[in-house]
Structure 1
Amino acid sequence: MRKAFEIGGAAIQPGSRRTVDIPVSVLSDHTPVTMSAHVIHGRRSGPIVFITAGIHGDEVIGAEIVRRLLAIRTLDSLKGTLITIPIVNAFGFLNQSRYLPDRRDLNRCFPGSARGSLAARLAHLLMHEVVERCDLGIDLHSAAIHRTNLPQVRVAAGDRESIRLAKVFGAPVVLQSSERDGSLRAAAQASGVRVLLYEAGEGLRFDELAVRAGVAGILRVLHDLGMITSRGVPKARGRSMLLKTSRWVRAPGGGLLRVYRDTGDVVSAGEVLAVVSDPFGEREREVIASADGIVVGRAVMPIVNEGDALFHIAQTPSNEVAENTVQTIRSDLEGDPIFDEDEII
């Protein structure tokens, strides 16, 4: 018999699951704030994995991914331990804001400090109570407000195991990106814990395809780690594209944006992606693709200023392969019967 898993002063017995409220702080009006974690502690030993969402309070899609994940019955026979935190930054979530009350970005404050700012203390709490005890993490994000992202997993270049797991996840794109100082991914890596960073959808919005891709990807990774059986795990017919370089195409001037291309579209260098015009239509400026590639993110706000980031394009080895990959993965997600169950949708 395994030992109980202790977190936040609570003990979760083997073969059980429980939501634990870990105290974070008290607001100025004496309202307590907690970081709530749902822990599934299997009867049999196995890896310890964490799933976090809502580090940025306005990126709400991760909470829906966690909600649907926890409704899937195959987790009842889990090996090892799964820790899910659908809302890390409760302050930002309640205020529909990326930041904490002190205007700090939590994902620039790791590993944090027990005696630092509010953001530093929350970062330290997450690292100490959760991250440092795990073998792997999956951190769920969306694009910032007024932008949207194609489902993608970001990993550090040269980390073969992270790249392998990202491909197992099965999002259309695996994008190599450097770890930012102060991010959860960088702090976890320094502690010897790999983290897959999932980016999909738009801030303050749910996107059905992005949610499905997130749920399916997590299930595939848990199965690859031997934590769950293959029952109910969506099979991926398409293979993720490993892309190494990307760049933003920016607004040539301020005005009103008319978009011709969307996330997942494959574009060619010199192609017109959008037009920016003044409110009278007297002057129009074309937004031109600077290279061949796939649109992995774009602005959704029609009002832009000169220099605003409009289209995030990742270069692909073959536009034909890119188009086939996105179409195949979308078909898988739209047609998989696991997402038709009433308790999930």
Structure 2
Amino acid sequence: MVRESFAIGSVRVRAGAARDVELPITRLVTGGDVSLPVRVVHGREDGPTVWVSGAIHGDEVIGVEVIRELIATLQPKEFRGTLVAVPVVNVLGFMAGDRYLPDRRDLNRSFPGSPRGSLASRIAHLFMTEVVAKCEVGVDLHTAADKRANLPQIRADLDDPRTRALAEAFGAPVMVHARLRDGSLRQAALDVGAKVLLYEAGEALRFDDEPIATGVVGIRRVLAFLGMIDPDPDDEPGPTLESRSTGWVRARGTGILKLETKLGDVVAAGDRLGGLSDTFGRRVRLVRADRSGIVVGLTRAPIVNAGDALVHIASVEPADH
């Protein structure tokens, strides 16, 4: 029996095929149309329906490359289930190299949206209607904010057994139990019954080989866990640390920052992480860890003011948790 085709927008994708779809968003003042680009991989055999999305924040470009490399590895005739890949959700922000939409709204605070609201609200509603509503699992790809870098990590509701199993299957170096934010895609998707992983890695406006490779391999592990592809026999994921509490070490003064720690370092409370100096190189004060854990984020800005976030440390749960 031939599997039913997959409907999205105004088209249907037949079983065993991949197809690019343009979902209309708006029209520019110059008359050009702006659309949401989607690649649907509709497997020949039955299975789950999963989405992957990138660039909800337009300057977070790593997810675009993760999805490009991911879909290049998939063969529709050998695929089970359906993948809906949306490499760029915030199309206008992405084209401008800007985190936000032209009206300065944060798209990831605009879900579930409305068909007659602001531009952000309309894009959110389109994404919820055409993508999330058709899927049971989603992986949303992010990077650190401007002038920061993140260690590859999964953020998710680790108290939900199904979501936790998906996070463990992804196999990132760290998985963080993360609270929900009102208006976020993760919150809106959970409200309609989808299980969501949020992947954080790398820096804004920059491709970085390690976070990209970790993202591609991690999503493929999730697809294998769901039975959509065969597992890679050569893939041997390392241990995943669990964190239920994170916090930023903040500058206690103003100066030029020189960090002596890097992403992935395991630190103890009181460890020296770096120092602040004046413009002549005189040390103003040291930067020390305020908790024990693993460094999952840090600033790339050399000039800091009192109160600025410098190093993000995730407290690590015991291995037998």
- Flag whether TM exceeds 0.5 (same fold): yes
| Larger mean Cα displacement after TM superposition, 276-285 or 203-212 | 276-285
- State the SS of the aligned residue for 1:239: coil
Q: Which residue of structure 2 aligns with residue 341 of structure 1? A: none
> Letter of the aligned partner of 1:191 in structure 2?
V
> Contact 2:171–2:237 at 8 Å: present in 1 too?
no
Query: Stretches of 4+ moved more than 4 A in 1?
Result: 73-76
Deviation of the 1:75 alpha carbon: 5.2
> Contact 1:74–1:229 at 8 Å: present in 2 too?
no
Within 1, Cα distance between the matches of 2:233 and 2:200?
A: 21
Q: Which residue of structure 2 aligns with residue 246 of structure 1? A: 246
Q: Which residue of structure 1 aligns with residue 134 of structure 2? A: 133
Q: Which residue of structure 1 aligns with residue 187 of structure 2? A: 186
Within 2, Cα distance between the matches of 1:74 and 1:295?
A: 37
Deviation of the 1:278 alpha carbon: 2.1
Q: Which residue of structure 2 aligns with residue 312 of structure 1? A: 312
Q: Which residue of structure 2 aligns with residue 61 of structure 1? A: 62
- State the SS of the aligned residue for 2:19: strand
> Contact 1:216–1:234 at 8 Å: present in 2 too?
no
> Contact 1:92–1:99 at 8 Å: present in 2 too?
yes
- State the SS of the aligned residue for 1:119: helix
Q: Which residue of structure 1 aligns with residue 291 of structure 2? A: 291
Aligned pairs for 1:160-309 (under 5 A) are 160-230=161-231, 232=232, 235-309=235-309
> Contact 1:56–1:99 at 8 Å: present in 2 too?
yes
Gapped runs of 5+ residues in structure 2? none
- State the SS of the aligned residue for 1:178: coil
**Residues 211-265 of structure 1 deviation map (CA, whole Å, 9 limit, x = unaligned):** 11100000111011011112x4652342211111111101112221101001101
Gapped runs of 5+ residues in structure 1? 322-345
**Residues 141-189 of structure 1 deviation map (CA, whole Å, 9 limit, x = unaligned):** 0111100100000012411211111010000000011010000000000
Within 2, Cα distance between the matches of 1:2 and 1:86?
A: 26
Q: Which residue of structure 2 aligns with residue 147 of structure 1? A: 148
Output the TM-score relative to the length of structure 2: 0.96
> Contact 1:48–1:81 at 8 Å: present in 2 too?
yes
Within 2, Cα distance between the matches of 1:175 and 1:234?
A: 26
- State the SS of the aligned residue for 2:290: coil
> Contact 2:44–2:76 at 8 Å: present in 1 too?
no
> Letter of the aligned partner of 2:61 in structure 1?
V
- State the SS of the aligned residue for 2:103: coil
Q: Which residue of structure 1 aligns with residue 30 of structure 2? A: 29
Q: Which residue of structure 2 aligns with residue 338 of structure 1? A: none
Distance 1:233 1:141, change over 3 A: farther
Within 1, Cα distance between the matches of 2:133 and 2:264?
A: 35
Within 1, Cα distance between the matches of 2:246 and 2:38?
A: 35
Q: Which residue of structure 1 aligns with residue 73 of structure 2? A: 72
> Contact 1:220–1:234 at 8 Å: present in 2 too?
no
Within 1, Cα distance between the matches of 2:118 and 2:189?
A: 20
Q: Of Structure 1 and Structure 2, which has the larger fraction of its residues in helix?
A: 1
Q: Aligned-pair RMSD on alpha carbons?
A: 1.4
> Letter of the aligned partner of 1:291 in structure 2?
R
| Larger mean Cα displacement after TM superposition, 70-79 or 130-139 | 70-79
- State the SS of the aligned residue for 1:132: helix
> Letter of the aligned partner of 1:262 in structure 2?
K
Distance 1:9 1:229, change over 3 A: same
- State the SS of the aligned residue for 2:193: coil
> Contact 1:251–1:304 at 8 Å: present in 2 too?
yes
> Letter of the aligned partner of 2:254 in structure 1?
G
Percent identity (aligned): 49
> Contact 2:273–2:287 at 8 Å: present in 1 too?
yes
Within 2, Cα distance between the matches of 1:227 and 1:314?
A: 32
> Letter of the aligned partner of 1:271 in structure 2?
D
> Contact 2:60–2:99 at 8 Å: present in 1 too?
yes
**Residues 186-226 of structure 1 deviation map (CA, whole Å, 9 limit, x = unaligned):** 00000001110000001011111111110000011101101
